[in-house]
Amino acid sequence: MVNNTGDTVIDDALDYPLLREIAESPYVTVLYPNKVIDILRLMKVSNISYIYAPQTPKLTPELAREVCVRSGSRAFVTAYIANTGNAYNIALNALDCHSGKTMAKVERQTNDRNQIVKTLGAAGYQLRRELGEPEDSLTRFNTPLENETSWSL
Protein backbone atom coordinates (compact mmCIF):
# COMPACT_ATOMS: atom_id res chain seq x y z
CA MET A 1 0.00 0.00 0.00
CA VAL A 2 1.33 3.41 -0.93
CA ASN A 3 0.93 5.81 1.99
CA ASN A 4 0.49 9.45 1.00
CA THR A 5 -0.80 10.58 4.39
CA GLY A 6 2.47 11.75 5.88
CA ASP A 7 1.64 9.57 8.92
CA THR A 8 4.46 7.04 9.40
CA VAL A 9 2.27 4.87 11.66
CA ILE A 10 0.22 4.01 8.57
CA ASP A 11 3.32 2.93 6.62
CA ASP A 12 2.88 -0.79 6.03
CA ALA A 13 0.20 -1.13 8.74
CA LEU A 14 -2.52 -1.80 6.16
CA ASP A 15 -0.69 -4.32 3.97
CA TYR A 16 -1.64 -7.37 6.04
CA PRO A 17 -5.33 -6.42 6.48
CA LEU A 18 -5.66 -5.84 2.72
CA LEU A 19 -3.96 -9.15 1.94
CA ARG A 20 -6.30 -10.88 4.41
CA GLU A 21 -9.39 -9.30 2.86
CA ILE A 22 -8.49 -10.26 -0.71
CA ALA A 23 -7.30 -13.76 0.25
CA GLU A 24 -10.65 -14.49 1.90
CA SER A 25 -12.16 -14.95 -1.56
CA PRO A 26 -12.20 -18.51 -2.93
CA TYR A 27 -11.97 -16.93 -6.40
CA VAL A 28 -8.58 -15.34 -5.77
CA THR A 29 -5.20 -16.93 -5.32
CA VAL A 30 -2.83 -14.63 -3.46
CA LEU A 31 0.91 -14.78 -3.97
CA TYR A 32 2.22 -14.89 -0.44
CA PRO A 33 5.54 -13.25 0.46
CA ASN A 34 7.64 -16.42 0.16
CA LYS A 35 6.49 -16.95 -3.45
CA VAL A 36 7.09 -13.27 -4.28
CA ILE A 37 10.59 -13.49 -2.80
CA ASP A 38 11.31 -16.59 -4.90
CA ILE A 39 10.25 -14.76 -8.06
CA LEU A 40 12.31 -11.69 -7.12
CA ARG A 41 15.36 -13.92 -6.61
CA LEU A 42 14.85 -15.41 -10.08
CA MET A 43 14.61 -11.86 -11.42
CA LYS A 44 17.85 -11.06 -9.53
CA VAL A 45 16.21 -8.09 -7.81
CA SER A 46 18.25 -7.17 -4.78
CA ASN A 47 17.34 -3.57 -3.94
CA ILE A 48 13.93 -4.31 -2.41
CA SER A 49 12.84 -2.63 0.78
CA TYR A 50 11.07 -4.94 3.18
CA ILE A 51 8.09 -4.63 5.45
CA TYR A 52 7.73 -6.96 8.41
CA ALA A 53 11.51 -7.40 8.21
CA PRO A 54 12.93 -9.71 5.58
CA GLN A 55 9.82 -11.83 5.05
CA THR A 56 7.68 -9.41 3.01
CA PRO A 57 9.03 -7.29 0.18
CA LYS A 58 7.53 -3.86 -0.48
CA LEU A 59 6.80 -3.76 -4.21
CA THR A 60 6.34 -0.80 -6.50
CA PRO A 61 3.37 -1.12 -8.90
CA GLU A 62 5.83 -1.69 -11.77
CA LEU A 63 7.66 -4.47 -9.95
CA ALA A 64 4.35 -6.00 -8.81
CA ARG A 65 3.26 -6.16 -12.44
CA GLU A 66 6.48 -7.94 -13.43
CA VAL A 67 6.08 -10.44 -10.57
CA CYS A 68 2.47 -10.93 -11.65
CA VAL A 69 3.49 -11.74 -15.23
CA ARG A 70 6.32 -14.06 -14.18
CA SER A 71 4.07 -15.95 -11.76
CA GLY A 72 1.47 -16.61 -14.44
CA SER A 73 -1.11 -14.60 -12.54
CA ARG A 74 -3.93 -12.66 -14.16
CA ALA A 75 -4.06 -9.49 -12.05
CA PHE A 76 -2.52 -7.59 -9.18
CA VAL A 77 -3.88 -5.00 -6.78
CA THR A 78 -2.41 -1.61 -6.02
CA ALA A 79 -3.56 0.31 -2.97
CA TYR A 80 -3.22 3.95 -1.96
CA ILE A 81 -4.17 5.95 1.09
CA ALA A 82 -4.07 9.73 1.33
CA ASN A 83 -5.07 12.31 3.91
CA THR A 84 -7.03 15.19 2.40
CA GLY A 85 -7.01 17.19 5.63
CA ASN A 86 -10.37 16.15 6.99
CA ALA A 87 -10.64 12.64 5.55
CA TYR A 88 -8.63 9.59 4.55
CA ASN A 89 -9.10 8.41 0.97
CA ILE A 90 -8.42 4.77 0.13
CA ALA A 91 -8.15 3.59 -3.48
CA LEU A 92 -7.77 0.00 -4.68
CA ASN A 93 -7.04 -0.88 -8.29
CA ALA A 94 -7.02 -4.35 -9.81
CA LEU A 95 -4.82 -4.28 -12.90
CA ASP A 96 -4.35 -6.82 -15.66
CA CYS A 97 -0.79 -8.17 -15.49
CA HIS A 98 -0.17 -8.21 -19.22
CA SER A 99 -1.89 -5.05 -20.43
CA GLY A 100 -1.68 -2.97 -17.25
CA LYS A 101 -5.29 -1.92 -17.80
CA THR A 102 -7.64 -1.40 -14.87
CA MET A 103 -10.02 -4.31 -14.36
CA ALA A 104 -11.73 -2.81 -11.31
CA LYS A 105 -11.28 0.30 -9.20
CA VAL A 106 -12.74 1.20 -5.81
CA GLU A 107 -12.43 4.37 -3.79
CA ARG A 108 -13.61 4.80 -0.22
CA GLN A 109 -13.33 7.58 2.33
CA THR A 110 -13.45 7.86 6.11
CA ASN A 111 -13.29 10.89 8.35
CA ASP A 112 -12.09 8.88 11.35
CA ARG A 113 -8.54 7.57 11.54
CA ASN A 114 -9.76 4.72 13.75
CA GLN A 115 -12.09 3.56 10.96
CA ILE A 116 -9.38 3.14 8.32
CA VAL A 117 -9.18 -0.66 8.74
CA LYS A 118 -12.96 -1.00 8.53
CA THR A 119 -13.05 1.22 5.45
CA LEU A 120 -10.24 -0.78 3.85
CA GLY A 121 -12.26 -3.96 4.45
CA ALA A 122 -15.32 -2.43 2.79
CA ALA A 123 -13.17 -1.35 -0.16
CA GLY A 124 -11.73 -4.86 -0.51
CA TYR A 125 -15.22 -6.35 -0.41
CA GLN A 126 -16.37 -3.92 -3.10
CA LEU A 127 -13.30 -4.69 -5.23
CA ARG A 128 -14.12 -8.40 -5.08
CA ARG A 129 -17.67 -7.56 -6.22
CA GLU A 130 -16.36 -5.38 -9.07
CA LEU A 131 -14.14 -8.24 -10.22
CA GLY A 132 -17.20 -10.45 -10.57
CA GLU A 133 -17.21 -12.57 -7.43
CA PRO A 134 -20.74 -13.99 -7.00
CA GLU A 135 -22.93 -12.44 -4.32
CA ASP A 136 -23.35 -15.73 -2.43
CA SER A 137 -19.56 -16.08 -2.18
CA LEU A 138 -19.18 -12.48 -1.03
CA THR A 139 -21.74 -13.09 1.69
CA ARG A 140 -20.29 -16.41 2.77
CA PHE A 141 -16.64 -15.31 2.79
CA ASN A 142 -16.85 -11.89 4.37
CA THR A 143 -15.42 -11.65 7.84
CA PRO A 144 -15.17 -7.91 8.56
CA LEU A 145 -11.53 -6.88 8.94
CA GLU A 146 -12.24 -5.21 12.25
CA ASN A 147 -13.18 -8.67 13.62
CA GLU A 148 -9.86 -10.11 12.43
CA THR A 149 -7.50 -7.23 13.16
CA SER A 150 -7.25 -4.24 15.44
CA TRP A 151 -9.73 -1.41 14.82
CA SER A 152 -7.02 1.19 15.17
CA LEU A 153 -3.58 1.60 13.69
User: Is 26 a domain residue?
Assistant: yes
Higher local confidence (pLDDT), 149 or 100: 100
User: Is 16 a domain residue?
Assistant: yes
CA distances from 70 to 1, 35, 103 (A): 21, 11, 19
Percent of the chain whose predicted confidence (pLDDT) is above 90: 51
Partners of 82 in beta bridges: 4, 89
Instruction: Give the model's pLDDT for residue 57.
Output: 64
User: Is 153 a domain residue?
Assistant: no
User: Is 6 a domain residue?
Assistant: yes
- Residues of the domain holding 137: 2-148
Instruction: Give the model's pLDDT for residue 151.
Output: 46
Evaluate if residue 45 carries a pLDDT over 70: yes
Q: Domain count for the chain, please give it.
A: 1
* 46-93 residue pLDDT tens: 666 555 445 556 788 888 999 999 999 999 999 999 999 889 999 999
Residues, the chain: 153
Higher local confidence (pLDDT), 62 or 150: 62
- Label residues 123-150 b or e (16+ Cβ within 10 Å = b): bbbbbbeebebeeeebeebeeebbeebe
CATH number of the domain where residue 45 is located = 3.40.50.10610
Which pairs with CB-CB distance under 8 Å and at least 24 residues apart come from 80-84?
Answer: 80/1, 80/2, 80/4, 81/1, 81/2, 81/3, 81/4, 81/5, 81/10, 81/14, 81/116, 82/4, 82/5, 83/4, 83/5, 83/6, 83/7
User: Is 45 a domain residue?
Assistant: yes
Whether the Cβ atoms of residue 90 and residue 108 lie closer than 8 Å to each other: yes
User: Is 47 a domain residue?
Assistant: yes
Instruction: Give the model's pLDDT for residue 42.
Output: 87
